[in-house]
Amino acid sequence: MRKKFTTLSTLSMFFLGGFAMAQVTGVLKDSSGFALDDAEVIVEATGQSAFTDMNGNFSIDAKVGDVLTIIDANGEVYTLKVTKNNLGEVKFKKTKSDNIELQTVNLIGGIKMDVAQKIGAYDVVKKEDFELAPTASIDEVLNGRVAGLVFSSNSGDPGSSNIITIRGVGSLIGTPNPLYIIDGVAVGKGTDNAGLTESWNPLASIDPNQIENVMVLKDASATALYGARGANGVIVVTTKKGRYNQKTRFNFSTDKAVSSIAYDKQKFFNAEEYIRWGAMAEMNRDANYATDMQAAIAKFAELAGWDGKTNTDWRSAIQRNQSTVSTYNFSATGGSENTSFRVGTSYYDNKSLIRESKFNRLGVNAAIDHKVEEKLNLGLNLNFSNVERTSLDDGGAYRNPWTSQFSLLPIYPIYNPDGSYNLLNLGSGNQYFNPVAIQELDFTKASIQTYVGAVNAEYQFAKNFYFYTLYGVQYQRLNERQYWDPSVGDGKNQEVNSSDKYPEGLPGGMFTLANTAVFDWNWQNSVSYRKVINDRHDLQVWAGMEYQEHKYDLNYATVVNLLEPRPYLNFGANQDRISVGENVFRWNQISYFGRANYVLDGKYTLSGQIRRDSNSTLGHNNKDGIFWSAAASWNLGKENFVAPDGVLSNLVLRGNYGEIGNIPYADSWGAQYNAYNKLRLSSAGYGVDVPGLGIGTAGNPDLKWEVSQQWNVGLDFSLLKAVNFTLDVYNRKTIDAIYNQTIVGTNGYPVSYYANIGTMSNKGVEATFNTRPINKQFIWSINGNFSYNRNKVDELYTDRPDAIERGSGNGIRAISKGREFFEYYVPLWAGVDPETGAGMWWTDETKTETTTDRGKAKSVWLGKSGFPKYLAGFKNDFSYKGVSLSVFFTGQFDYYVHNRWQNFILSDGSKMGNNQIKSALYDAWTPDNRNASNPKPIAYQNNETEHLSDRWVRKGDHIRLKEVKLAYTFNDVFKKNTGLENLTVYVKGVNLWMHAFDDKLDFDPESNSNAYGGAAGKGLYDYTSPILKTISLGVSLDF
């Protein structure tokens, strides 16, 4: 049974290079006209072999009269006689083994989607985009390659969780991420499940090099099969498999990379600039501070304790000189007539830019398929990884070393004259928070083991009837340790002063152990029937069930006031200062589903599917939900009235509608709704001996499913047989959206509950295209995608009069009826009074009157959000003989971002203890610079000019050079002389360049805050670890 597929692209010749005079080339296609990609071509006389590329092209040393044996990816064997050096396009006729499942993709319960009968909206990312990618997580590769998919990084720290949205945000709370399926196993939504480490992405446990392809399902025609977990889209990951009838083939590849910050224009004061700015601010506060500016500088330097020489670059101090990444991969692939296999191992080592931050992953994977008999097929997929990770405090944490570039001043040294850490001379509020000392003495480490596996069987128990079963498991265990040394940072803050209980006080320090276990399993069973009648009617029917269960257990223990501080063994000597806790989440779901497809004459397709889910997390009155979709397509290109050689060809019109359930939090690693899942066991605080059991939220027996109502209309066509287009228009509406409602505090505790309170919609259009302008020995291919999405909160059934949420990004954004999700809601900045240098605001949205009193400025809706409305990806591929060059650009447009710490780094004098960006000095109002962007700085001023307003909202629009790859594949003469099957060397660059359309944007707009849950952090810069640009050099060889 074939499990591979190819994209609907222009099928044309691709010469793989080589300089032999007897080189034979050709293009292989199957009986349906699809390219036979990754098929092995063997010259029977010499044993020489080669593999076809994604478009079916091959080249091999042979002579006229030789016989070629072709083994496709499913193990089907064909023979071909060489009649000339250029065989052109070879289309194989159907054989006995060329079954009706040739071009299908496995979905759920054995249900297969026929690529040739496209009725829905989906995109495919091929293995070539994942192979040798210098990334820790597979979701990073999807950025810019899928129309309508927005990727944002929660942190540049390897292994951190990310945010992915497909066709906008569909829920008011919870993760917006799609559901991930790996070889039939549901592994959640790529959200954080760590206890101590800043964030952890479960997808980072999968090696990108073992990916065969990734299919992104977008609309109801496919996602309805996944019921309540598929409303935000589904990403189906298929790993590489073995091949029948192929001798064992080995592959080894390695990659070495170096990284640095991709985009960062923030430039902070050096010591002299800080002293000059401080003197200016003091003079503006008190005209009698000094007689002139030079005297003010001397006075401020003396009071600040500057020695006139120290000029510390705190950013450089907490960074490595260069981040390095090393990757090694080894695999063996092959098979006999009845068995195919692939086994592989990989090692990934990432020493990130921030000192002491590390990520190491060792992976092992195996895939075995066996034909027990003609009617019974068995399959096994196993993936194991062990990750060792040292991470840093990130986001809004005060310990975050990345914030030291502004929280600490350049006038203070890292070390004392005797070489010890400077802990006492760091400025007001920063004592003991020397980031270099914290990095070297404290740590947060995690050891993570992940097992993902599935066993499946398919049995033909009667003519045209098949039974399919799959049992899949994901088990993940995190062992985390966090140590705060008693002498620095938060560890020092744990000190206890002298008291009756502790006459001599207690030292500081803290040590925490956390163990997290996540266990997911699902069992799918289905029966299918397929019948083709008179080569005209093609009917397929599936019916099945699925059971899923999720368990999450977190146990932790913390000890403070370390009497005998050790990095690991602390509990025995500090038993009276121990607190313990446990979090337990459980949910399960049973589902029944069915699907039917009917195709007439290969032109008219009807499809319908239905699923009933019963989920344990919802109120007992609404546990069950029925979700469905219906779709149709018309292949106009096969109608007589459409000329096959006309302007338009391959013309397919399609449409679908469906309703899909959603539970925002239950699709993540823990459930949030029923009482059992909200119980917490913990001691009340450090030093308290009596543990207690508490309830986090009140129950709601009437809580029901969110329902996503979706329709999609699409058109696929070729223009002049040269350019292939796909167009989709969609409307996605969420009704009964879930949100956290508050209870009057006088009623006691708990003070909140979950309820269905609103509706939200996403409307948009997507377009993809590919073409090959030059298709000779020199080949030029172009691929592109474009999308537009408009989000709106349509209804809110709540008694709150205005915005129902003001917490995201220091209250700069909110949710309200008729507005975008988390739209900016702030006073309007009116600039600087050129006469006085005072900051001004508009009193309201009419912009007719200004005020210098922020209290008189009304917050207004800006019509701007942190989610881009327009997305684009554009890729050019060039090849000539063995040389290939790929250039890939991405773009995000019409969205706005905000630095959550902007009021600290451009404080107008209110934060004298923090370093400032250079514009605070060089673009501040003075009598000689009356057209400045920033008010005159006034030391410790309280006129609120640095407070939230649209002054801090920046346009995030940008174009990024996402990837450049230059490769050379050695020709057949070299391979024949060395005995190698293939040898490719390459150099690759990722995130090499970015152009921002806002001149004042000084941070990477694709960075998120991980201090907020789900989509709330999108568009907020929080000094998380920066996104990196990477240059790598690698080699791949087959033997």
1006-1027 per-position pLDDT tens digit: 988 876 767 777 888 888 888 8
CB 693 within 8 A of CB 699: no
Q: Does one domain contain both 125 and 95?
A: no
Residues 277 and 300 in one domain: yes
119/68 same-domain check: no
Q: Name the 3-class secondary structure at 284.
A: helix
Cα separation, 542 vs 280, whole angstroms: 76
The C-alpha atoms of residue 1027 and residue 157 are separated, in whole angstroms, by 8
What value does the mean pLDDT take over residues 268-295? 95
- Which of 971, 1039, 1036, 981 minimizes the C-alpha distance to 49? 981
Closest C-alpha to 166, from 186, 133, 190, 200: 190
- Kindly report the CA angle at 368 between 364 and 373, in degrees rounded to 5? 170
Q: Per the domain annotation, does 818 fall within a domain?
A: no
Per-residue pLDDT of 135-176, as tens digits, reads 878 888 899 999 999 988 877 777 777 888 999 998 888 788
- The contacts of residue 136 (CB under 8 Å, 6+ apart) are 158, 159, 201, 204, 348, 350, 359, 361
Residue 1024 lies in a domain: no
Q: Is residue 423 very low, low, confident or very high in pLDDT (cuts 50, 70, 90)?
A: very high
Report the alpha-carbon distance of residue 437 to residue 416 in Å, rounded. 12
Query: Whole domain around residue 935: which residue ranges?
Result: 271-310+913-945
Q: Is the pLDDT of residue 383 over 90?
A: yes
CATH number of the domain to which 191 belongs:
2.170.130.10
Residue 745 has a pLDDT of 60
Confidence of residue 464 (pLDDT cuts 50, 70, 90): very high
Kindly state whether residues 176 and 210 are assigned to the same domain. yes
Q: What is the pTM of this model?
A: 0.86
Domain shared by 176 and 232, yes or no: yes
Q: Tell me which of 243, 261, 293 is where a domain ends.
A: 243
Query: For residue 45, what are the contacts with CB-CB under 8 A and spacing of at least 6?
Result: 62, 66, 67
Q: What average pLDDT does range 885-908 have in this prediction?
A: 94
Asked whether residue 184 falls in the same domain as residue 151, the answer is yes
Q: Is residue 655 part of a domain?
A: no
Burial 706-731 (b: 16+ CB within 10 A, else e): bbbbbbbbbbbbbeeeeebbbebbbe
**Bridge partners, residue 142, by sequence:** none
The whole-number pLDDT of residue 195 equals: 66
Whether 186 and 289 share a structural domain? no
Are 337 and 264 in contact, with CB atoms under 8 Å apart? no
Give the domain-ending residue among 55, 74, 102.
102
- The answer to whether the beta carbons of residues 682 and 693 sit under 8 Å apart is no
21 pLDDT band, cuts 50/70/90, is very low
Integer Rg of the chain from CA: 31
Last-in-domain residue among 227, 243, 259: 243
- The mean predicted confidence, pLDDT, of the chain is 84
568, amino acid identity: Y
Q: Where is average pLDDT lowest: 14-23, 88-97, 399-408, 946-955?
A: 14-23
What's the whole-number mean pLDDT along residues 894-913? Answer: 93
Query: Can you give the CATH number for the domain in which 77 is found?
Result: 2.60.40.10
pLDDT at 568: 65
Residue 280 lies in a domain: yes
Are both 80 and 34 inside the same structural domain?
yes
Q: For the chain, give me the number of helices (H) and strands (E)?
A: 11, 49
Q: 557 by DSSP, 3-state: which?
A: strand
Q: Is the pLDDT of residue 25 over 90?
A: no
- Percentage, residues of the chain above pLDDT 90: 48
Does the residue 175 lie in any domain? yes
Q: How many structural domains compose the chain?
A: 3
Instruction: Give the Cβ contact number of residue 13 at 10 Å.
Output: 22
Cα 231 from chain centre: 17
User: Which tokens in the block code for residue 252?
Assistant: 């080894």
User: If you write DSSP's letter for every residue of 711-766 in order, what string do you get?
Assistant: EEEEEEEEETTTEEEEEEEEEEEEEEEEEEEE--GGG-S--EEEEEEEEEEEEEEE
- Residue of 41, 38, 52 whose CA lies nearest to 3: 38
How many residues make up the chain in this entry?
A: 1039
Q: Which of 191, 193, 186 is nearest to 230 (CA)?
A: 186
pLDDT-derived band of residue 725, with 50, 70 and 90 as boundaries? very high
Instruction: Report pLDDT for 497.
Output: 84
**Assigned domain for 601 exists:** no
The reply to whether 81 falls in a domain is yes
On whether both 61 and 168 belong to a single domain, the answer is no
- Is residue 194 one of the residues assigned to a domain? yes
Q: Write the DSSP string, 300-322.
A: HHHHHT--SS----HHHHTB-SS
Region 608-626 average pLDDT:
86
Are 232 and 129 in the same domain? yes
Q: What is the pLDDT of residues 637-692, one digit of tens each?
A: 888 887 766 677 788 999 999 999 888 765 443 444 544 444 555 554 444 445 55
Same domain assignment for residues 278 and 199: no
- Would you say residue 704 has pLDDT above 90? no
DSSP E strand boundaries for 392-464: 443-462
Residues 95 and 124 in one domain: no
Cα gap 400→586, rounded to integer Å: 33
- pLDDT given at position 775: 80
Q: What is the pLDDT of residues 532-567, one digit of tens each?
A: 999 899 999 999 999 999 888 888 888 888 877 776
Q: State the Cα–Cα distance between residues 810 and 154, nearest whole angstrom.
A: 17
